[in-house]
Structure 1
Amino acid sequence: MVIRIRGYALPHGEYVDLYADGDRWTTDPVPNAELVAEGWLLPGLVDAHTHPGAAEPGDPLDEDLLRDDLRLHVDAGVTLIRSPGLAGQPPEWFGTDPELPRASHAGPWLAQRGQFFDGWGNRVEHADLPGVAAAQAKRSGWAKIIADWRLDDEAVPVDVLTAVAEAVHGVGGRVAVHTQHAAGSTAAVRAGVDSVEHGMWLDQDLLPDMAAKGIALTPTLSGFQDMVTGLGDRPDGPAKDWLLGGTEAHGPLVAAAAEARVLVLAGTDSRPHGQVATEVRALAAAGMRPHDALGAASWSAREYLGLKGLEPGAPADAVVYARDPRTDLGLLAEPLAVILRGRRVRPSVTG
């Protein structure tokens, strides 16, 4: 069955009439195409920081759970994910299954010894980190470095991260860096990595440098806000102060990043999955324009990850809404249709 959608396409808001020619959009009419939805069109939602496939930190990758988690993303209108760190190398169907989102990934995390969750990721010596990261990025396009972890842990030095970035870029890959400390985020930006993940305690003075270098920020803002709600019963001390203070500054950081023209990406981090709309609302509440907050989970993120939007020749993904979701971000929970690879997957054709 050939499908057709029409309506006002974001980000430009112009009226379009699109037909799915296999897995590509075309404006050329296709005989007997079925009009499956019309309204306001987005080129699919994107979760740019998600770790599906493991129930608890340290658990091995579970293929059945991975499928379940990815179905939750599709239910939420997500047609593309980036997973900067997985509990293991993913199965061959990851990112290609016709019922599940397209995907890019960084394989297992790369961390310093004594840091990160036990059972997850690979512990790599500084001297070996550039080569290991480049090998991973050559396989999957991305490598993910845990630059820092607990409050008193030493961050990966800037010279090491610089060597990592150079090695990964040398094979045509990109580097994502987890950081929740000032030292780690400073090292990541000065090294010229491709994305800063979380970025709690990132110095706002670094934002112009990030914008100039094209370094994206994925703050996973809603995840930190949820975590803080459970800190009330913890004993007072430096660790609690670090988490509370960093989270308090996180929203203003996001607003300042957007103002500085840093590309902000929407990511939800861990469980539960299928919550990218919550992250979009958190970004807007922090001070991003609704247009830009939505772009962080749609057209801007797709472009950053190498996919075009709603135009001829682009991958045939879309989410359709009854009204302009920028006027009410709550509409993100109510898609009329989700189109993935030229097929309507939500609601299903039969239901």
Structure 2
Amino acid sequence: MSVLRVRGVVLPEREERTFWLDGDRLRTGPAPGGDAELVVDGGFPLPGLVDVHTHPGTESVESPFDASVLRKHLLEHREAGVLLVRTPGTVARMPAWVDGDAELPRVRSAGRWLATPGRFFPGAGRDIAEDELPAAAVEEASASSGWCKVIGDWRWDEPAVPLDLLTEAVAAVHAAGGRVAVHCQSAEGARNAVLAGADSLEYGMHLDPGLLDRMAAQGTALVPTLAAFGANADAWYARERSARRGDWITGWEGMLANVCSAYEAGVTVLAGTDSFPCGTVAAEAAWLARAGMPADAALGAASWTARDWLGLPGLTEGAPADLVAYDTDPALDPGALAHPARIILRGRVAH
């Protein structure tokens, strides 16, 4: 039986290395005897891509969660080289069979969206009273991959989840060993998420840049999903002037500025798509670069930085054998990121 080997200039280190595949693990020492098959021979291998904000399983809040749609979406991710996803909230909890399917990307789920009254599409998540939030947050984190997702605000002109309540929920989840993602699109919602100690801000629209140093110090990541917002930007600029239009444009332009400022302040900025079809994280990495992040940092936000943040190593001895390889350096040729030459998931060649 042939031993599968990988050789190339590994990113982000840009060092030429050779690995062999030991089941679903990477090994750097001498390969066992027998024939060796180079499944990657040259080029640029990097840790499997990551989408940290995707909602596979349904394409709208009106559609029921469907196992066949879930598998279709996850396969779309895999075919694009996305081998690890975080699902910050879904209509239903992630089925147990997902983790056991060797053909699918690894999944870090966050249970059902947690929505207090008036702060989400009715019935799309887990609707709870405000005083139920701390206990419900612990329940969802415990029933998933350790994450829960709180809808921290909703309408642009209505109050966000109160700071004291959100702080209590975050503290309860942290005490249980979990992590909290917070949806925030208003200045109050973003402020409360940061002050409450959330682990990630989803969107962060209207985020006060004065809070970036605090985010960096406490380890709060920013997941702006710029591509999803950017897809609608022209339509918003074309609308008749109104308070809502002005608020959206101010928030959008602030998001673009904050991405670069957040990176420079030491905040972990990550790539998430929040859109369909799945498997478009390369476009999000391009938006991060367009917003001012260095090319390597924007690429890392969709690969090694995101994997490290989710608790998985890069291409090192004993790491999961999840990698994508490119004929050209995707940091220097961003268009290449959407077209991997080789995809290896759990030690098996997927493409």
What TM-score do you get using the length of structure 1 for normalisation? Answer: 0.96
Paired residues for 1:1-351 under 5 Å:
2-28=3-29, 29-30=31-32, 31-38=34-41, 39-140=43-144, 141-232=146-237, 234-346=239-351
CA distance in 1, matches of 2:349, 2:158: 48
Which whole-Å CA distance do the structure 2 matches of 1:19 and 1:274 have between them?
27
Output the amino acid matched with 1:35.
L
Q: Is the contact made by 2:45 and 2:325 (CA closer than 8 Å) also made in structure 1?
A: yes
Could you tell me which runs of 5 or more consecutive residues in structure 1 were left unpaired when the two chains were aligned.
347-351
Contact 1:45-1:80 at 8 Å conserved across structures: yes
Which deviations, in whole Å up to 9, do the C-alpha atoms of 1:69-112 show, x marking residues without a partner? 11111111100000001111122222431111100011110011
Partners of 1:277 and 1:217 in 2: how far apart?
Answer: 17
1:58–1:118: 8 Å Cα contact kept in structure 2?
Answer: no
Between 126-135 and 283-292, report the one with greater CA deviation: 126-135
Q: State the alpha-carbon separation in 1 of the partners of residues 322 and 204 from structure 2.
A: 30
CA contact (8 A) 2:280 2:338 kept: no
SS at 1:326 equivalent? coil
Q: Which amino acid aligns with 2:289?
A: A
Is the partner of 1:325 in helix, strand or coil? Answer: coil
The one-letter code of the counterpart of 1:188 is: A
CA distance in 1, matches of 2:265, 2:171: 25
Post-superposition shift, 1:232?
4.8
In structure 2, how many angstroms separate the alpha carbons of the residues matched to 1:247 and 1:110?
25
**Contact residue 96 and residue 102 of structure 1 kept, 8 A:** no
User: Which runs of 5 or more residues in structure 2 are unaligned?
Assistant: none
Whole-angstrom CA distance in 1 between matches of 2:276 and 2:234: 16
Work out whether residues 117 and 130 of structure 2, in 8 Å CA contact, stay in contact via their aligned partners in 1.
no
Secondary structure of the residue aligned to 2:97 is coil
Tell me, in whole angstroms, the C-alpha distance in 2 between the residues paired with 1:3 and 1:119: 48
Query: Aligned to 2:60, what secondary structure does the other structure show?
Result: coil
| Mapped partners of 1:157, 1:115: distance in 2 | 12
Give distance in 1, aligned partners of 2:7 and 2:99.
Answer: 26
TM-score by length of 2: 0.96
- Which residue number in structure 2 is paired with residue 349 of structure 1? none
Give the letter for the 2:120 counterpart: F
Which piece of structure 1 moves more, 216-225 or 240-249? 240-249
> 1:258·1:288 contact (CA, 8 Å) conserved in 2?
yes
Q: Work out the percentage of aligned pairs sharing the same amino acid.
A: 49
2:23–2:346 contact (8 Å) kept in structure 1:
yes
- SS, match of residue 9 in structure 2: strand
Take 1:4 and 1:153, find their aligned partners in 2: how far apart are those partners?
A: 56
SS of 1:131 mapped into structure 2? helix
Moved more, 57-66 or 208-217: 57-66
The alignment partner of 1:186 has SS state of: helix
- Which amino acid letter does the alignment assign opposite residue 71 of structure 1? L
**Conservation of the 8 A alpha-carbon contact between 1:52 and 1:270:** no
* 2:331 counterpart SS class: helix
Equivalent pair of 1:95/1:104 in contact (CA under 8 Å): no
Q: Which amino acid aligns with 2:60?
A: E
User: Residues 182-240 of structure 1: CA distance to partner in whole angstroms, max 9, x if unpaired?
Assistant: 10111111111100000010000000000000000000011101022233554432222
